[in-house]
Every structure is written in C-alpha cells, then in structure tokens.
Amino acid sequence: MAKKVTRIGVLTSGGDAPGMNAAIRAVVRTGIFHGMEVYGIMRGYQGMIEDDIMKMESRSVANIIQRGGTILKTARCKDFYEKAGRQKAYSNLKKRGINGLVVIGGDGSFRGAVKFGQEFDIACIGIAGTIDKDIYGSDFTIGFDTAVNTAIQAIDKIRDTMDAHDRIFIIEVMGRDAGYIALHSGIATGAENILIPERKTNIKDIIESLLEKERRKKLVNLIVVAEGDEFGGANEIQKILHENLPKAEIRVAILGHIQRGGSPTGLDRLIASRMGYHAVECLLEGRHNVFVGILNNKMHYIPLEKAVKNKGNIGGEWMKIVKILAS
C-alpha cells in the first residue's frame, strides 16, 4: 500500500520553458484544494540541497500564469549526481514532512527524479517542461508551442528582407538533440530545406537544388536548421554553401535564447494547467513515480523511468511533407 502523500514539493529544473509558471500555479492550487501543504523549491535540485524551500499559499501563485520563465527559478546541479548530494536533499525534504515531489523539466531533470525516487521514500511525478518536445509519452511539452510561434514570427520578419534582396537565408533555431522546433517552424514558414539532428542531411542535394534554382533566377531560399544538425549549425552550412555558390548572397540568423522567453501561448497555458492538476491527482491516487503526458487529447501515464529511457520520434511522413511542399 503506497504511503499517503500529504505534503508536496514542486520544482522547475533544467532549461526554462514558457508555461512553467502555469504548471506551478496548477500544482500549488490543486494541492491546497485537497488539503495538502505545498512547498516551492528554488533553483531545482540545487535549492533542494541548499534548503532553499518555502511554503506556498494560493496567493503565492497569483498573477503568474501569463509570465514566461519560472518564479521558482532553475539551475543545473552537479551535486545531485552524487549520493551525498541526494541524501542532503532528502534530509531537507524529510524535516518538513514532504513526501511527494512534482518535477517540471526535461530529460535530465527526470533522470534525477528516477534516481531520487529509487533511493528514498519520496513519490515523484514528472511534468515535461521543455521547448524541445523530445520527451517520450506525450504529444505536448510545456513551452514547445510558444517557442515555435516565436521562431515563426522571427522567420516571417526575416523573409520580408530576404524577398526584398533576393537572398538565401539560413535560420538557426534551438534543438541540440531534437529537430522539432526546426521542423514545425520550417513547415509553417515555407522553408525550402529543413535540417534536423534526427535525419542525415544530403548537402550535395541541397547544393544542386540551389544551383538549379539559381539558373532559374529563383534566388530567394529559406533554410531552417536545428543547432544540433550534423554540420554544426547555420554558420557551418553557410561556409559550405558559399564555397559552392560564390555568386549567391547568403545570410545567417541565429535566433538563440529568444525562443525560450516570452508570454506562453494559450495552448502552453492550458496543457501546463492540465498537467499540473493531474500531477497532484496522481499523488492522491497513489500513482507514484510516473510521467504525466497527453496523448490524443487524453491524459497518459507511464513510469517515469520509461519516459527517460525512450525518446520522441520524428516520423518519415513529416519529412515527406517538407519535400513535397518545398518543391
């Protein structure tokens, strides 16, 4: 029989993502509604180790749903990789009677939660807060929709000057290990080529296509590349293309951390609120050490360990769509 969870901690860890505040708000207010005590842990696992923990009330999360970033802040924590660090974190939770933990973050955050849950009597629930959408077991991750829309708005603006000057533009978006932002923003902005880590890029085909378009005087071309593409990002792609198309005007725009910020979209606010609510419901129902996701618009629960071991997969249909629509 699982121990009843009466006091919960909530933290945000890893890279920040728009919508994290909405998830925090949902966890706090759902927990309080059910008579739980809820504690906010500052700066992720680092704050847990340093005892930077505060009790939260309903008013603690007022007027935050529209804000990007995270009011609990976030940090990378090397000390949590060590048993001594995790033991210290556990002691800080234990002295407050906290026996449930909601972790809002990505793959690395979940790895820490899996290890922590295996070693100590703390029930852990994972909510995917990452703009990369690279977590297995959910159609959505908090922050992805906002990041894609931010990229689309920036690319639309760049396309105006690209058209005016007959240029090739290479836009680099975030995605060290996952190409979802590049894929979605590229399709939505009519990119001729989309380069992602999950697919091998045939650079010769791109060069030949651009040379053929140059002969037809179609000089405007948009290439969207994820930062983790095999060639090393937009600047490296520019060097290769410039060597093969010396007459072409080729420009690079790296969108960078602008994609992490900003007010979350309606979709990100809704899924964050829904996931935060169900994370607390899971603890109440005795579903411990699980990942809360949404599949086909229904709540989907899998062991947290499974979410860590598996990766989201970009299907071949997406790349077929890219090829046909860009022709």
pLDDT value at 298 more than 90: yes
Q: Which residues contact 199 (CB under 8 A, 6 or more apart)?
A: 179, 314, 319
User: What global pTM score does this model have?
Assistant: 0.93
Query: How far is Cα 40 from Cα 245, in angstroms, rounded to an integer?
Result: 55
Q: Say whether 146-260 and 7-143+264-309 share the same fold.
A: yes
The fold for domain 7-143+264-309 equals Rossmann fold (3.40.50)
Which tokens hold the place of 317? 């249909």
DSSP one-letter code for 99 = -
Q: Residue ranges of the domains in the chain?
A: 7-143+264-309, 146-260
Q: What are 195's strand-pairing partners? A: 225
pLDDT value at 218 more than 80: no
Please say whether the dihedral angle defined by the alpha carbons of residues 119, 307, 304 and 14, taken in this order, is positive or negative: positive
The single residue of 132, 134, 145, 229 carrying the catalytic annotation is 132
State how far the alpha carbon of 260 is from the alpha carbons of 12, 20, 174, 220, in Å. 14, 11, 9, 28
pLDDT value at 134 more than 90: no
Which tokens hold the place of 100? 């449930």
pLDDT value at 220 more than 90: no
**Please, what is the average pLDDT of the chain?**
92
What's the pLDDT tens digit per position in 57-101? 999 999 999 999 999 999 888 999 999 999 999 999 999 999 999
- Conformation bin of residue 315: beta by default, left when phi > 0, alpha when psi is -120 to 50: beta
> What average pLDDT does range 219-237 have in this prediction?
89
Our answer to whether residue 132 is catalytic in this structure is yes
User: Cα angle vertex 308, ends 305, 314, to 5°?
Assistant: 135
Which tokens hold the place of 26? 């949902």
pLDDT value at 177 more than 90: no
DSSP one-letter code for 80 = G
Q: 62 near 105, Cβ under 8 Å? A: no
CATH 3.40.50.460 fits 146-260, yes or no: yes
